Structures are given as structure tokens and as C-alpha cells.
Structure 1
Amino acid sequence: MFDLSWLLEPLQYDFMLRALLVSVLAAVVCGILSCWLVLIGWSLMGDAVSHAILPGVVLSYIWGVPFAVGATIFAFVAVALIGVVKHESRVKEDAAIGITFTTLFALGLVLISVTPSQTDLNHIVFGNVLGVSRSDLIQVAAIGGLVLTVLLAKRKDFTLYAFDPIHAYALGLRPQVLGALLLGMLALTVVVALQVVGVILVVAMLIIPGAAARLLTDNFNRMLIIAPLLGAFSAVAGIWISYFADTSVGGMIVLLQGGAFGVIYLGTYLHRFWVHQSQPVPTPV
């Protein structure tokens, strides 16, 4: 018999256990939220918020406060600025998003360049899940728990808002409030995922699971199950592979998610092709 005990080797280290917990939690939160982002079409918004928090993270490192504080503040600042530019001018939403996130991201790069000794660019941009401390784990668990509670408690309202805001308004709901609340959850989710994959790759965790689930089913409730499961599996497998292959943890997690999406896309394409080919060809009368 083959000795597979070596597979459990990563569990001998506390930092690997913390990395595993943080990665799975972030993947589950991102996976659930991604279902709504895909339906509403907020992929670019997720990209914007994930980049716009860079100044907040840098300032948190400089001032010696938890990174979640600065990241959360700038995430909400980015959402507010996008809303102001979009509603108070003739600039369209995509342009408002592009202007806001590129400007704030550039501000973060400038702050990094003037404080090279205090801030590690690689940890901020690409994540540092193996360096997660116990306090970081508590912060991520608290924020992630809050986001999951709100998303699940308002699941029906968010779903109705995503599919038909006008119908939601007719039923007495307030679409603008729901949209603002969902954006707030997006901001907090970015903060949760930042520690795992960094600024650059956060958007992948916010989009890929929901997009893959959307290919597999038209039932939204099933999407809410498939997306976080895909994210969690990619997180666990990514950590294990990166440990033995000595690669980037965040990069491997996102790479596995992208690979899973590619396999699912190919499978659904081949299924449609097979169904089309198996249909009888109508004969002329």
C-alpha cells in the first residue's frame, strides 16, 4: 500500500492551519457574493473596489493599525466616489469606475514609493496568506461572518433586486438601499479576500465562482451552493499544491479557479454541441 501520510504534512504547522482557515473563509464569502455580482453585472465594480483600497492598506501599515481599518475606509470611499461621479455628472458608470479606481490605485503606488522601508509591495499586491497572524484570523472571521450574515438574511431581497429592481420597488423594497447595502458587502468582502490573494487577484475570487456556477445551473439557490464549494475546494487544493510545489498561494488558488471555469465552460459547450448533433434533422415534405 502507498503511504499517503505525507499529504498531512502541511497540517503540522500553525501558519498553514491559519492560512487554510483564512483562505476557505474568504473563498466562501467571495463565492456567495459573486453570484449576485455576476447577475447584476458588477464585475468591473469589484475590480474597482479591490484596487482602490491600496492606499488604505499602505496607510494602515505606515500608521501601525490593522490593515482592515484602512482597507475598509477606502473601500467605502471608492464606492461613494463612484456614485457621486456617476450621479452628479454626465460621466457614465464605466468611466466613473475607471477614473476612481485608477486614481486611488495610483495614490497607493505613490505612498508605497515614498515609504519603501515600512511597506512590502509584494505582500499588499499579491497577498501574504502564509503570514496571517492569530489577530488577522480573528479580524477576517469577524468581517466574513458579518458579510455572510447580511447576505443570507437579505438573500431574497438581493436576488429580487438583481433580477428585477422595478418589481422589487413595486413590492415595497427600496432598490437604491439594497444596491448600497450590496456594495457595502462588496467592500467588506474585498477586505476579507485581500489577505489571501492581494489587491490584484481579489477580483478573480469575486467573479470566477459565480460565473462558473452560472454555467452549471439556472437556479439561483443552486448557484449559492456551487460557487462557495468551488471556491473552498480551490482554496484547499491551492494551499496544498503551493506547499509542495513552492509556488504563490494566492496565485495557485486563482489559477485553480480559472482552470475549473475553463473545464466547466468546455464541458457545457460540448454538451450543447452533442445535444444539437443528436437532434434529428427535419426532412423536407
Structure 2
Amino acid sequence: MSIPDFLADLTNPDLAFLPKALLIAVLSSIVCGVVGCYVVLRGMAFIGDAVAHAVFPGLAVSFVLQGSLVVGGAVAGVVTAILVAVFAQNRRVKEDSVIGVFYVASFALGIVIISQAPGYAGSLQQFLFGTITGVPDEDIYTAALTGVVVLGAVMLLHQQFVTVSLDRELARAVGLRVFWLDIALYVLVTVAIVISVQTIGNILVLALLVTPAAAARLLTDRLGLMMLLAPVIGGGSATVGLYLSWSYDLPVGGTIVLVLTAAFLAAYVAAPRHGILARRWRRSSAGESPVPA
């Protein structure tokens, strides 16, 4: 399918689900791209993966009760994040162990809940791999409003998040409440993931959170520019992924993730300062420079 044909389908009233799919994909990419910068900066990829599992019981309950998936997933994720933050205060058990216990338990609870719903197999596949072409209007409105709240919170807490990410002890020394900032960041990660679950599913959602930010990290040393590049990379990849999926009848979530991965690999190879080609060129230039007598 050519790009003009794809654009024509986007404006076709009989294919109203297609522009909604593009909207939710780009919205998810923007929110995850911004929040994902903190995840990459702090090395929190495991936490992002765990949060993706934690929202599952809320999604399952919302599905059974025919409520909003965004609201249900957010409630479950936030409750689990707070439990992890509280239990992790006991230094006898490391934080990653507490995360493993609670988030795996949450995912197991979600499976048990969804197994009681009619059409269990189809519902489980929907949660695991996304249903971007079947997102209801009310979930789009909820996701848009929630996304604005998340981005607003990031703007308000940005400096504190950066300080905690770079040096937790310094943050405590200057009077920052590290515990509450950790909870705030966990909550923002949770909400970003919930918004994105319907786009690429519970299994693949970590890619939307981490991959654009990781690619942006290779392209710049400035956090502000990184937080601009990551949503652009994510939104562009989501658009290209949806186009390829629609053109060749491919799974939407998987296609978006593969495009994101291709963008990361391109940055890894060709980034101006930190790419493989740039590093090899610098080594080659240094080797060819004359040795002083």
C-alpha cells in the first residue's frame, strides 16, 4: 500500500478505527517517551517490565466489569507500586526482590481473574498483545487526559527527578523526599504503561517505554534534548509501524516494536558521537595522527 492510499484510509469514514489507532499509538509514544527517559537514566528497565505485569489484574477486573481499562490498570499499578516502595524500606530484602515478589503475584492474580470471564482465551490475547484497532472512544479520552496530567507532573517534578536519578545521597542531603519522589516516579511509569497497553499489549509495552529513550540517549548528552527526541522517535516508529501493519496485514504491536528496534539499531550504529561508526572513525583518526618526537 502506498502512503497516499494509507492517508486516504485514515480519512475514510468507514475506517474510523484507523485514525483512532494512530492517535492512541502516538499519544502512548509521547507519554512513554518522556517518562522513559527517567527509566533509562536510572536503569529502571526491570521496574518498567514489572509495572507492566502489575497493571494486569486491574485490566482484568475492568474487563470483567466492563469498565475503563485505563482506570483499572492505573489503580492496580499504583497500589502495587506503593506496596513495593513500603516493603522495600526493610533493608534486609533488596528492592529488586520485593519488586519480583509483588509484580509476579499481581500478574498471576490477573490471570486468575481473567480466567473467570467469558471468552477467556481471546481476552488474554487482547491484554498480552494489544487491541489498538478496537480502542473505544472513552478510553482515548481517558488516555489523553491522563497523558496531559502525566506530562504536567513531569514538568513540575523534573528537577527533583533528575537530582534523585544522578545522586540519591545528594538528594537526601539537600532535603528532597526521595521516598515520595520514588513513589511519584513509579506512579508516572505505571500510568504511562497503562495508556500504552492497548497499543502494543502487556508483553511488548516495555519497548515503548525504554527503546525510544535508549535511542535518544545515544543521540545526545543533554537530558532536555533527549526528552524531546524520545517522543519523536516513539511517535514516528508507531506511525510507521501502523502503516506497515495495515499495508501487509501484520500484528500491530509486534510491528511497532520491530520498527522501534530498527530505530535503536540505527542510532547505535550511526549516532554522531556515540555510534559505532563515529567511535571507529575517532580511533582511526587517532591512530593516523603523527607521533611527537
TM-score by length of 1: 0.93
C-alpha offsets along residues 161-203 of structure 1, whole Å, 9 cap, x if unaligned? 2122333334443222222211111111111111111111111
Work out whether 1:73 is the aligned partner of 2:75.
yes
Work out whether 1:130 is the aligned partner of 2:133.
yes
1:167 to 167, 170, 179: 170
Maintained 8 Å contact 2:61/2:114: no
Structure 1 residue runs without a partner (length 5+): none
Maintained 8 Å contact 1:24/1:235: yes
Alignment-derived partner of residue 215 in structure 1: 218
Residue 19 of structure 2: SS of its match in structure 1? helix
1:203 to 171, 186, 206: 206
Maintained 8 Å contact 1:126/1:250: yes
C-alpha separation in 1, matches of 2:280 and 2:91: 46
How far off is 1:83 after superposition? 2.2
Residue 88 of structure 2: SS of its match in structure 1? helix
Alignment-derived partner of residue 232 in structure 2: 229
2:269 to 266, 271, 277: 266
Maintained 8 Å contact 2:40/2:214: yes
C-alpha separation in 2, matches of 1:215 and 1:49: 25
How far off is 1:282 after superposition? 5.9
C-alpha separation in 2, matches of 1:122 and 1:241: 21
Name the aligned partner's letter for residue 99 of structure 2.
Answer: I
Name the aligned partner's letter for residue 92 of structure 1.
Answer: K
Residue 8 of structure 1: SS of its match in structure 2? helix
Taking a change above 3 Å as real, the CA distance of residues 261 and 5 of structure 1, as seen in their structure-2 partners, is closer
Taking a change above 3 Å as real, the CA distance of residues 274 and 174 of structure 1, as seen in their structure-2 partners, is same
C-alpha separation in 1, matches of 2:209 and 2:3: 34
2:282 to 266, 270, 275: 275
1:185 to 185, 188, 206: 188
Residue 120 of structure 1: SS of its match in structure 2? helix
Maintained 8 Å contact 1:239/1:249: yes
C-alpha separation in 1, matches of 2:137 and 2:218: 37
Maintained 8 Å contact 1:10/1:243: no
C-alpha separation in 2, matches of 1:236 and 1:260: 13
Aligned length: 283
Moved more, 23-32 or 200-209: 200-209
TM-score by length of 2: 0.91
**Following TM superposition, where does structure 1 have runs of at least 4 consecutive aligned residues deviating by more than 6 angstroms?**
none
Alignment-derived partner of residue 51 in structure 2: 49
Moved more, 112-121 or 246-255: 112-121
Residue 114 of structure 1: SS of its match in structure 2? coil
Maintained 8 Å contact 2:242/2:256: yes
Maintained 8 Å contact 1:10/1:240: no
C-alpha offsets along residues 27-73 of structure 1, whole Å, 9 cap, x if unaligned? 00000011111111111111001011111111111112111222112
C-alpha separation in 2, matches of 1:10 and 1:85: 51
Maintained 8 Å contact 2:85/2:179: no
Name the aligned partner's letter for residue 239 of structure 1.
Answer: L
How far off is 1:220 after superposition? 0.6
How far off is 1:270 after superposition? 1.5
Moved more, 53-62 or 164-173: 164-173
Identity %: 37
Maintained 8 Å contact 2:242/2:252: yes
C-alpha separation in 2, matches of 1:160 and 1:56: 32
